[in-house]
Amino acid sequence: MASKTGAVWAIDIGNNSLKALHLSDVSGVVEVIGFDHIRHGKILTGTSVTAAERDELIALSLHQFVSRNDLGKDDIVVSVPSQNSFARFVNLPPVEPKRIPEIIKFEAAQQIPFDINDVQWDWQLMTEAGGSETRVGIFAIKNEVVISALEHFSRENVQVGYVQMVPMALYNYILYDRPDLCKSDSQATVVLDIGAENTDLVVCTRSRVWQRCIPMGGNAFTRAIADAFKLNFEKAEKLKRTAAMSKYARQIFQAMRPIFTDLAAEIQRSLGFYNNSNPNTKLSKIIALGGGTKMRGLLKYLQQSLQIPIERPDSFKKLSIGPDVSAAKFHEGVGEFGTVYGLALQGLGLASIDSNLLPRRIARSMAWAGKAKYFIAAACMLLLVSVLCFARVLFDKANYNDKSSIRQEINITINTTRQSIKKLEDQKSKASVYEAIIQDKFKLFKYRDVVPRLYQTMLSALPNEKNAAEQKDKGLYKAFADGDVEAVLKIPRKERKQIFLTSMSIYFTDDVAIAEFGDATSQRGRSRELRDMAADADESMGGMGEMGGAKLKYAIASYKKKGKKADSGKEEDAEEGAGFVVTMTGYSPYKNIGELMDPAGVKDDPNKWGVVTRLLHPEKTIVGGNAPFKLYKKTDIKHFKLETGEVDLDAKMPVGIGIEDVRLEKTKKVKGKGREQGSERVLIDPMTKEIISKVAELDEDGREKINKSGKVVYKINDHWFVLNVKFLWKDAPKEIEN
């Protein structure tokens, strides 16, 4: 079970020192937020250390730890040595899941070599997901051992929440931090924790663990030196630690050589037993931990003897270091923090084995102690609620007696409300009559969105950021929308894929087959007449807005389909019916206006479509992809007409194109007078002030260029267009009323 505070302290009291690790788990990131490493005044298993002195040394180290670390309300996880604990892994017979606890209790009584009442024990399923066998781990420790270990913490008022065996903590560490070493049950990694008095050997696979405690550790080397040099234990320990720098290094290592051999032999014997019991599992690597691994030459000797690669980690792979923790100091002791790392993972709920050997009596008292504050709070709340309820009754009684006049007013109000409800019901009975009147009034607005949708369809077909990506990349449309003239002028005018609308007219017809187009080209003198027509159209549609100086004009007249005949005399087919006649006029600076309006052979390439091509495919052009209109008979000149021409002041073309201006500094040849200075009327772009009309080309002296035939050479700038199209209204009703 994970810590409630999100942080946990793990403590391992060994024969040489106290190791502690403070971890937190925030958003799945395990972080070191504190650690401590306190060496005892003496090695607890020294020859001159009595049992009482051993307890005193542990108490001093633990007191020092508690005094300089804030434990707060974080969970505490402690370890018990492997030589004082018991672990067995057995396969259960096939039974129903609900009977597993009963079977395990029977197996525990058979497997644990002590009276079941004299031990603290726990179990955990070790079955791999999808496995056919039900494998269970049984863990036990004698009551007096765990109680003795917990007494030290009790004296310091430290409440322990978990008790775990050292080998299982090491297994939890290796499976979490180095999952690459235990990918399957056929590949095993050996964790070798060389302590002061014992060496824990733990063989780890993905779903199984095997452990053995070898009664040989760093103290065995110390005793060998003491015997060889006739020293006491403390002096021999000091000589062992400084052996590499001593002038007697050769004699020291010669004295320790038998212990090297014996330790390697014990490890080899243990691994050989494991290999015989698990022939399908290969031992791939040994991870060496503990203070004994610091002994010079030991790991090299073991690797040569065992013929298995040995690694002593200098860091933990999945731990991040908190900002308040010294990374350098922490990494100095990484080799001795493997046990506390595994303990802390269990406290955070991240361990593979989460058995807990904490005595049940202590666990129950902790649970009740944790709930006591809630019981007290609940009792206080119950008392407070009782007092408030009694006070409320007295208050309500007094208030009731004082409010008799208000109750009379309430009764009057209730009677008035009942009368109002009756009147409301009478009015609701007339709702159908009012609904009919409302629906009749709203018929005027039934089709008011048709023309705006047609308007949207036409505008969506013009070149824009969506359908002219190469112009968007050049920033043309954004610059134009922002009014950035300098950015627009950076793009040559003939390369700007733009269409400027000067006018658009839309009118409704109940039969597009017989509707006719008007003449959109005219001299510029007709602009007053068109403005008057646009004003009438704007008034009729409620102010739909201007488009290039002329306003959208439309009217939907009442009609009824009667199967009218076209000029040919034939009955109208499925492609005939009500619709709209649209005339668009405008101009374009692009070098090939035909490519923008109606290019040929681009049906399957939307990137090359023109205005007319997009009108043929409104479902791929307009926002939403759905238009109730269909372009009518594009291939018939009676129903589709596209005219283009050069923008020229002296030619017949649509009105509203550009702004008229005068180009000065022009020298032209006048009949009978030679050449004289003059000016020329031109049309300019309202935004960029570029000349858009056809003008005479000038040489360096400002004279008109003359070709070999004696004619003036003209420069063609923009082109105008008039597009006459018809649209069938696919969703047209059978009748439309004004």
Rounded average pLDDT over 381-399: 88
State the CB neighbour count (10 A cutoff) for residue 587: 30
Q: Tell whether the torsion through CA atoms of 664, 668, 671 and 674 is positive or negative.
A: positive
Rounded CA-CA distance 120/137 in Å is: 14
User: What are the structure tokens assigned to 318, written together?
Assistant: 């999945």
pLDDT band at 292 (very low <50, low <70, confident <90, very high): confident
Higher pLDDT pick, 568 / 281: 281
Rounded average pLDDT over 264-269: 93
Residue 546: per-residue pLDDT:
35
Give the pLDDT confidence of 524-540 residue by residue, as tens digits.
Answer: 433 333 344 434 434 43
Residues 6 or more apart in contact with residue 595 via CB below 8 angstroms: 610
Residues 6 or more apart in contact with residue 152 via CB below 8 angstroms: 13, 55, 58, 59, 62
Give the pLDDT confidence of 660-716 residue by residue, as tens digits.
Answer: 888 765 555 555 554 555 677 889 999 989 999 988 888 887 788 888 888 888 889
Q: Output the CA–CA distances (angstroms, integers) from residue 656 to 4, 137, 660, 684, 691, in the order listed.
A: 77, 92, 10, 12, 15
Rounded CA-CA distance 40/16 in Å is: 6
Alpha helix ranges (H) inside 617-718 = none
Residues 6 or more apart in contact with residue 172 via CB below 8 angstroms: 342, 343, 345, 346, 351, 352, 353
**CA torsion 239→240→242→245, rounded to 10°?**
100
Residues 6 or more apart in contact with residue 145 via CB below 8 angstroms: 80, 84, 85
Say whether pLDDT at 176 is over 90: yes
| Side-chain half-sphere CA neighbours of 126 within 13 A | 27
Q: Can you list the domains of the chain with their CATH numbers? A: 1-178+320-358 (3.30.420.380), 179-316 (3.30.420.40), 450-462+499-566+573-655+722-736 (no CATH), 659-717 (no CATH)
Rounded average pLDDT over 273-282: 90
Rounded CA-CA distance 592/463 in Å is: 14
pLDDT band at 233 (very low <50, low <70, confident <90, very high): confident
Say whether pLDDT at 592 is over 80: yes
Residue 372: per-residue pLDDT:
67
Distance of CA 37 to the CA centre of its chain: 40
pLDDT band at 293 (very low <50, low <70, confident <90, very high): confident
Rounded CA-CA distance 261/43 in Å is: 24
Radius of gyration of the chain (CA): 49
Give the pLDDT confidence of 460-478 residue by residue, as tens digits.
Answer: 889 988 887 777 778 888 8
- Lowest-pLDDT range, 234-238, 439-443, 725-729? 439-443
> What percent of the chain is predicted at pLDDT more than 90?
25
Residue 667: per-residue pLDDT:
56
pLDDT band at 430 (very low <50, low <70, confident <90, very high): confident
**Coil, strand or helix at 322:** coil
Residue 175: per-residue pLDDT:
92
Residue 249: per-residue pLDDT:
81
Residues 6 or more apart in contact with residue 627 via CB below 8 angstroms: 453, 457, 618, 619
Rounded CA-CA distance 547/506 in Å is: 12
**Phi/psi class of residue 153: alpha, beta or left (left: φ > 0; alpha: ψ in -120 to 50)?**
alpha
Amino acid at the residue 385: V
Residue 236: per-residue pLDDT:
85
Say whether pLDDT at 201 is over 60: yes
| 8 A C-beta contact, residue 282 and residue 291 | no
For residues 662-695, one letter each, b for 16 or more C-beta atoms within 10 angstroms of the residue's C-beta and e for the rest, the string is ebeebebeeeeeeeeeeebebbbbeebebbbbbb
Higher pLDDT pick, 553 / 632: 632
∠ CA 342-116-113, rounded to 5°: 80
Amino acid at the residue 132: S
pLDDT band at 433 (very low <50, low <70, confident <90, very high): confident
Rounded average pLDDT over 92-103: 82
Residue 427: per-residue pLDDT:
86
**Backbone torsions φ then ψ of 679, nearest 5 degrees:** -135, 170
Say whether pLDDT at 150 is over 70: yes
- Lowest-pLDDT range, 342-346, 383-387, 517-521, 675-679? 675-679
pLDDT band at 365 (very low <50, low <70, confident <90, very high): low
pLDDT band at 363 (very low <50, low <70, confident <90, very high): low
Which residue is associated with the tokens 């269909």? Answer: 630
Which residue is associated with the tokens 């206006």? Answer: 593
Which residue is associated with the tokens 């200098």? Answer: 314
Q: Output the CA–CA distances (angstroms, integers) from residue 57 to 14, 61, 64, 152, in the order listed.
A: 11, 6, 11, 11
- Lowest-pLDDT range, 66-70, 172-176, 430-434, 656-660? 430-434
Residue 541: per-residue pLDDT:
35
Say whether pLDDT at 38 is over 80: yes
pLDDT band at 399 (very low <50, low <70, confident <90, very high): confident
Angle at which helices 249-277 and 298-306 cross, to 10°? 40
Say whether pLDDT at 307 is over 50: yes
First to last CA, the chain: 76
What average pLDDT does the chain have?
82
pLDDT band at 82 (very low <50, low <70, confident <90, very high): confident
Alpha helix ranges (H) inside 403-468 = 404-429, 431-442, 450-460
**CA torsion 630→632→633→634, rounded to 10°?**
-80
Distance of CA 250 to the CA centre of its chain: 62
> What percent of the chain is predicted at pLDDT more than 70?
86
Rounded average pLDDT over 250-268: 90
CB-based burial label for 582 (10 Å; 0-12, 13-18, 19+): buried
- Lowest-pLDDT range, 2-6, 195-199, 495-499? 2-6
Residue 271: per-residue pLDDT:
93
Residue 527: per-residue pLDDT:
38
Residue 18: per-residue pLDDT:
93
pLDDT band at 395 (very low <50, low <70, confident <90, very high): confident
Rounded CA-CA distance 676/688 in Å is: 30
| Side-chain half-sphere CA neighbours of 503 within 13 A | 27
